Amino acid sequence: MAQRMKIVELYARVRRAVMVDGMSRRQAAQMFGLHRGTVSKMLLYALPPGYRRKGKPVSPKLGPFLGVIDQILETDKTVHAKQRHTGQRIFERLAAEHGYAGGYTIVREYVRGQKLRNREVFIPLSHRPGQAQVDFGEADGTIGGQKLRFHYFCLDLPHSDAIFVKAYPAETAEALCDGHNAAFAFVGGVPAGILYDNTRLAVAQILGDGRRVRSQMFAELQSHYLFEDRFGRPGKGNDKGNVEALVKVARRRFMVPMPVAGSFDELNARLLEACAKRQQARLRGQTETIAQRLVRDQAAFLPLPAVPYDACHKQATRVSSLSLVRYKTNDYSVPTAYGHHSVLIKGYVERVDICCGTELIARHRRSYERADFIYDPLHYLALLERKPGALDQAAPLEQWSLPECFGHLRRQLEAHIGKQGRREFIQVLRLLETFELSRVVQAIGSAIDLGAIGFDAVKHLLLCQIEHRPAKLDLALYPYLPRAEVGRTDPRAYLRLLSAPTLAGSPA
C-alpha cells in the first residue's frame, strides 16, 4: 500500500510539472529520472492503471482443444436449451473422444467465459399506446374439490402496464378466443396491435420466407376485431418480454399459495378483482398510476364490435346409432330422434352445443377427460317408451339421481298394473322433457296422497297445478282402485247420536 502511495504521488508531481507548470516531456523525464514514454503514459491517466493483460492466458494442456469446445458450444445454439452441454459434459467428451489429459477446472472456466461472452444483450424499449402482448401460463390449483393443472390467459399492455388474467381448464383455441373477448371487455377496447409467440393455436404453419399461415379460428377472431397481429421470432421469448414477465408475476402473486376455488368462475372472479386493484398502483419510475396511463392506451384502441366473437370450435359430424357424437375424444348424447343425422358441434370453454341445421338439439357441460361419456337421460326416454324392457339396463339412466317419490310411484304402478306400469312410469319420466322437476315431484306427491296411481293422474294434477284450477279425477279410468260407497245422510242418525249416553267421566 505504501509503495502504491509513493507511485500516486510521483504521478501527481509529473502531471503537474507538465500540465500546469508547462515543463516539456523531455525536461520532466530528465528531472524525475523517467523514460519519456513513461511520462507520456502518466499524462494519460490520473492514477496508475496497474498491470493490464491483453488476453487471458490459455493452459497449454487446454489450448489444442479450444476449437473442439467452441464447436460444441456453437452447435448447442441449435438444440433445446435443456439439452445443451454443461462444463462437466464437455470435459467428459474431451477426455473420452479427444484424449484430453488436463483437469476439469480449466475446462469449466473456459466454458463459463465463452457462454458469458455469447449471452444476448438487449436494448430498453419504449411502447406506444394501444399495443398489447398475449401468452398463456400454467399453474396447479384445487378447483371444485379436484387438484389439477390449469392454464391461464395473460394480456399485457406495455405502455400502461395494465394486465388481464383468466384461468381455463386447458390451453385451447376456444380458450384463446374467449380470453380475448374477456380481456377486451375488461380494458375497454381492442388493442390496435397484439404480439404473440408462434403458438399452434394461432399459427397453422410458418412458411420458408417467415410468413405465418393463421389457424382458421384465429383468423376469424382477427377478422371480427380487426387488430393487427405480430409474431415473435421462434424460440425468442424476449421478443414479448412484458407478457413473459406477466406470466411469472401472475403465478407468484395470484397463485401462491396454491389457489382453492369451488369453480373456475369463482377463481376468475378473484383474478379479475386482482387485475382491477393493481391499476391503482404506481410502478417504479412512473409518476402516474396504471389507471391514469391506461387512458392513453384506450384512446389508441379500436372500438369494440356490437357483439363479442363466438368463441367456439366448430366440427361437423354424424350422430351414431347410440345417439352419441364424439368431440375431442369424448361422447355426448343427442335426442334419439336425431340418430344417424348430420350435426354441427360447437365446443366452447365450458359447454358443448350440438346443432342440426339451425336448431340447437343438445347442450352439455364440457368434459376435459378422455374417453368420457356425457349423457342427458331425457334424450333416451322416447326410445325407452317403445322399449320399456331396457329401462333397468339403460346406461344413460344409471347416474340419474331422482327424488325418492319416483321410485315409490314406480313400485306402486308395477304392483297394480304389472308390465304396463313400467311403460306408464316412463311416460311420467317424459314429463321432465317439458316441465320442471319440482312441479313433477309435487304432482307425483299429490297423486300418491290421493291414491290415484297412474300417468294420466300425475299429468292431470301437474296441469291443474300450473293452471291454478282444482283437480277433477275420473275414477273410472282407474279400475284397480278400491271403490267407496257414499250414501245419503239420514237426519235420524244424527238424532241418535245426540240421545246416546255420555261416557263416564266426560262432561254432559
Long-range contacts of 376-381 (CB under 8 A, 24+ apart): 376/333, 378/335, 378/432, 378/433, 379/323, 379/333, 379/334, 379/335, 379/336, 380/323, 380/333, 380/336, 381/426, 381/429, 381/430, 381/432, 381/433
Domain co-membership, 233 together with 143: yes
Boundary of a domain, candidates 249, 279, 300: 300
3-state secondary structure of 188: coil
Distance from C-alpha of 32 to C-alpha of 238, rounded to nearest angstrom? 57
Q: What is the DSSP string of 26-84?
A: HHHHHHHT--HHHHHHHHH-SS------SS----TTTGGGHHHHHHHHHHHTTS-GGGS
Quick one: CA dihedral 174, 180, 182, 185, positive or negative?
negative
Specify the pLDDT at position 501: 62
Query: Within a 10 A sphere around the Cβ of 248, how many other Cβ atoms?
Result: 11
Do 184 and 257 lie in one domain? The reply is: yes
Terminal alpha carbon distance of the chain: 131
CA 360, CA 351: separation in Å to the nearest integer?
Answer: 13
Residue 103 belongs to domain spanning: 63-118
Overall number of domains in the chain = 5
Residue 483 lies in a domain: no
Sign of the C-alpha dihedral computed for residues 264, 225, 206 and 327 taken in this order: positive
Residues contacting residue 374 through CB under 8 Å, at least 6 positions apart: 330, 331, 332, 333, 352, 364, 365, 367
Inside any domain, residue 498: no
Q: How far apart are CA 51 and CA 139, in angstroms?
A: 53
Whether residues 275 and 142 fall in one domain: yes
Residues 292 and 161 in one domain: yes
In a domain, 56, yes or no: no
Radius of gyration of the chain measured on its C-alpha atoms? 42
d(CA 15, CA 21): 9
Does residue 396 lie within any of the structural domains? yes
Q: Are residues 294 and 152 in the same domain?
A: yes
Which amino acid is residue 436, in one-letter code?
E
pTM score of the predicted model: 0.72
User: Do 141 and 253 share a domain, yes or no?
Assistant: yes
Residue at 458 is within a domain = yes
Same domain, 189 and 289: yes
Nearest to 35 by CA among 14, 56, 17, 16: 14
Q: Flag residues of the chain having pLDDT under 50.
A: 504-506, 508
**CATH number where 249 lies:** 3.30.420.10
Residues facing 346 on adjacent strands: 314, 353
Final residue before a domain boundary, out of 357, 374, 391 = 374
Q: Residue 21 domain-assigned?
A: yes
- Torsion sign over Cα 331, 336, 339, 345: negative
Q: Quote the pLDDT of residue 244.
A: 92
Rounded to the nearest 5 percent, the helix, strand and coil shares of the chain are: 45, 15, 35
Grid cell 313400467 in the structure block, residue? 422
Give me the residues paired with residue 178 across strands: none
Q: Name the 3-class secondary structure at 92.
A: helix
Same domain for 107 and 158, yes or no, is: no
In this structure, is residue 208 part of a structural domain? yes
Q: Are residues 94 and 184 in the same domain?
A: no
Judgement on whether residues 160 and 68 belong to the same structural domain of the protein: no
288 in the same domain as 317: no
DSSP 337: G
Residue 234 is assigned to a structural domain of this protein:
yes
- Mark whether 189 and 217 lie in a shared domain: yes
**Interatomic CA distance for residues 321 and 387, integer angstroms:** 15
Residue 501 is inside which H or E element, if any?
A: none
pLDDT confidence of residue 508: 45
